[in-house]
Structure 1
Amino acid sequence: MNLQRSFQRVYGFLLTTNPAPCCYSVRLKHTKEEAAAHRAKVMAKGLPERKPLPGVKNIILVASGKGGVGKTTTAVNLACAMKVIEPDKEIGLLDADVFGPSVPLMMNINGEPMLNDDHLIEPLLNYGVKCMSMGLLVSGENAVVWRGLMVMQALERLTRHVAWGPLDCLIVDTPPGTGDTHLSLAQNLPIDGAIVVTTPQSAALQVTKRGVNMFEKLKVPIVGMVENMSHAICYKCGTKNYVFGNETKQTAEQMGLEIIESFEVDHNMSECINSGKPAIYALPDSTHAEKYRKLANKVFKYIEDKEKVEEHAKAKE
């Protein structure tokens, strides 16, 4: 096939060396309104319908643009704290980090999950919290090397092929960044809110801004910001040392966000993580445990207020 015919197959019209009365009309310029309308049409066609998870009342994401800021630690202790302060509530924890799952270690869960009579995966239970993670489905020594499409299929299984219900709240631990996982969750599930986790470094805060912008574009409301490693306290004199900087408050104000909790550096947290016993249980009288309980209360309050607003809106209709 010559170049002329190849061009015709790709672009739909034939190049001619001698201009002739045009059989094909190629429009090279569009108005901004036409371009915006076309973009909206294409996006609307491609977006899936958000469907709730059967038996799950509320879904809260725990996210961070930057890795290594203590996002999974926050998600694990938040889920456990919610169960501690409201024992009658059913709480779930989904590890949506397909490539680097850490929830099995921090929640001290292992073993292959079972299928029930409905061919749904039964989540594992520890500390009263229902848990599911890709780390339970693959060997700990094996690396998950997948492209985007397979990641989305895995998320589909971890959400809709798991017997979550009944749950009052599902906490979702998401991976760092603003990629396929966040997009898939926000487009497929009715997310009630997102908690953004950061540390005080300028690099972390800069990436956090991108994460906030992503949620705004996806129309996911933000519950607030959690600051980890805000400062270190000298064990001799009790002086606060802002070893990682002190820019979080200013950045939060610029983005119109509230810092709903701030955690200082504590070497005991590493021991809790490695032992698979969350601080809310391992160190119940510690400052960290108290702050996680406060964070859990704020999340419950956020959910309660959101439900009241929705009920009021329905009553007006």
Structure 2
Amino acid sequence: MKKIGVLTSGGDSPGMNAAVRAVVRKGIYHNVEVHGIYGGYAGLMNGNIQKLELGSVGDIIHRGGTFLQSARSEEFKTREGQQKGIQQLKKHGIDGLVVIGGDGSYMGAKALTEQGFPCVGVPGTIDNDISGTEFTIGFDTALNTVIDAIDKIRDTASSHERTFIIEVMGRNAGDIALWSGLAGGAETILIPEEKHDIKDIALRLKKGQERGKKHSIIIVAEGVMSGYEVGRIIKEETDFDTRVTVLGHVQRGGSPTVKDRVLASRLGARAVELLLEGKGGRAVGIEKNEMVDYDIIEALGKPHNLDMNLYKLSKELSI
């Protein structure tokens, strides 16, 4: 390959810049031109494409978000939109494409692959909900943001003897809630992968109060229900003083952790290697600290599996 492109799509995540940097510098190291596509798939259709040099990705490894910017595009979901994108890639002489994003971004890469244009997917999402990889770029940083908030909220919870409900992101996956809840010592963790009865949780809170427990923290994944709804039900069932915190998009921002910077660098570089090996239609990931790659079409057909052993442990430790 003489030229490759790179784009970021969907929701941004800390570490995307580190991944783009790795793609650019790995490509240039192997005498391949790398072109940045600004604005995701929408930018691809509009031809918002520029050649990137070594200096283009200097001083970005520590920055959150994505300097290539991102956008969601309904038009690109159509075959006509996809053909517009392919025409732009051919116009610029681009032979292969690295797509950094979540499952929606992978769907776009899958569509291009099926139409004969080689793509490699790199998992960039704080939700950690991509099959075929144990961790996604941005997940660790988001966890550290959440745990910092939990620690601060626990301080005020213990001062005022209140029940705090903290709503975290994750869409339909409970990874952020589970990992942060376990690390933060939450009394209850609500995840989409497990059924819950809020009234049973309220009963547990009452029993805790009876044995002298002064405060509680409940972590709820957004895919379960609104944190405010959880707080309302608990208030009705217990009459406890409750407070709700919705962390929202603060979880997507911030400087990526060491783990995310290294993961992004490894995944971005591996994506370039696959294209240079003539392997399109692949997605990269990490399993047992080893780089892996798999068919991107197969990956989209597999469900994301949460580590339920961690959930079991969290329940055992929150008695």
Greater helix share, structure number: 2
Rg: which structure is higher? 1
